[in-house]
Structure 1
């Protein structure tokens, strides 16, 4: 698509995500080992290698970085940051281990707690989502190679458009984290006279489903961290989709003292 004006930091994030995707797929195609971290979440060589690559792109910016695989700095330092990168090198490590392809690279730039830029790359399908919230622009492009030049990324990009509501509400559910509260939420929609269809996806692809018009609503009543959601929220916000905290009834904020998110709902 001609005429896309790409923010310099967004270009950097896209390039980082593609290079990370390349090394992730190199690990994906091998008999990789799985470690279990202190928080019981899985970790593979792909997480570590992708994190190293992304850091190598983002550190020169020189905006500070919050990444799942970096040592987290104390809030007494972080609270002074006006902007920061928020990164998940492999979002959906469980999906990676299952080899179902539904894992992503998440990179977001946050300003004053609000996502401004977001990139979600799906290495298994070479699908890229990217967004500039301030300019209200979000795009999706299908690539032939991880080693695609930015000019070619942009030439094939298509604008994301949210769907109009129909009689059937498409609700996004997690493949790995379908909580009882989510099931209760679905039953509540049905009790209000709605037909409901469940659409299942792993990782941050759940945000993309709503942003690109393949679902209506994504309720998340289970734990997530800031790096799970920042890029997805940027992509959603750029097309007018809100990511609202169930605790505050306001949009999710980032670089908080506690990097754990409250429950939230994604909808137009």
Structure 2
């Protein structure tokens, strides 16, 4: 694995450690302008990640940073896209289904993604250029290379059911309508699989679900790492407005609706 990717993995783990330092306390919750929760964990994780990645000299887009204007960003050939705590609602509910997301985007396309689950220490890593994605449980007692001796290669497989990923916090009428239409088209039972945060991408990449429709607002930092992991195993993340794979470092960081599916 390239050194730049190793550093991103270590940054995700460092962010996760900061999150757990708050998660295991009686933390306070503030609210942003859009009424979504913000905790000290978001801020501390972001600081830890930025500290790890800053020496690499690659610009960053992060949910918790004051991001550059598009006039400044549009000439970037590459950048990190970071969500230091994805699934803040899951964090507040204390169900463990929250993640740290870091992606490296080159020419607007994700080439690498890491999703780290602090509570379970699970790591999902996508190397798009190598067409490989991994899942492992991080052991801080081992050095970096030893953690990769026995890893699971992700490989989406067919199922006797059509398993549709639904959000715990964002199931809406559009998504329900998509599911109902799917039921009329499929010759096999349709099953709903629920998961929080970017773990929904991981379900499809791991072969535990078949399709992930997202017909609710997301930002670039919510999806870039998950898209890298999915594309590394030949899944598609299709922008429902352009009908093309989603691209990043756009002028508007708000995503269109999208669909994760097999090619």
Matched, 1:104 2:99: yes
Unaligned runs of 5+ in 2: none
State which of 32, 46, 70 in structure 2 corresponds to 1:37.
Answer: 32
Match of 1:140 in 2: 135
The answer to whether the 8 Å contact 1:226/1:260 transfers is: yes
- Secondary structure of 2:130 counterpart: coil
TM-score by length of 2: 0.97
Unaligned runs of 5+ in 1: 1-5
Q: Whole-Å Cα distance in 2 between the matches of residues 16 and 198 of structure 1?
A: 33
Match of 2:209 in 1: 215
For residue 72 of structure 1, report the CA deviation from its aligned partner.
Answer: 1.3
1:40-79 mapped onto 2 (5 Å cutoff)? 40-79=35-74
Cα deviation digits, residues 231-265 of structure 1 (max 9, x gap): 00000000000000110110000000000000000
Aligned residues: 261
For residue 43 of structure 1, report the CA deviation from its aligned partner.
Answer: 0.6
For residue 153 of structure 1, report the CA deviation from its aligned partner.
Answer: 2.1
State which of 225, 235, 251 in structure 2 corresponds to 1:231.
Answer: 225
TM-score by length of 1: 0.95
Q: Runs in 1 of length 4+ with deviation above 6 angstroms? A: none
1:120-131 mapped onto 2 (5 Å cutoff)? 120-131=115-126
For residue 148 of structure 1, report the CA deviation from its aligned partner.
Answer: 4.8
Match of 1:170 in 2: 163
Cα deviation digits, residues 189-232 of structure 1 (max 9, x gap): 11124410000000000000000100000000000000000000
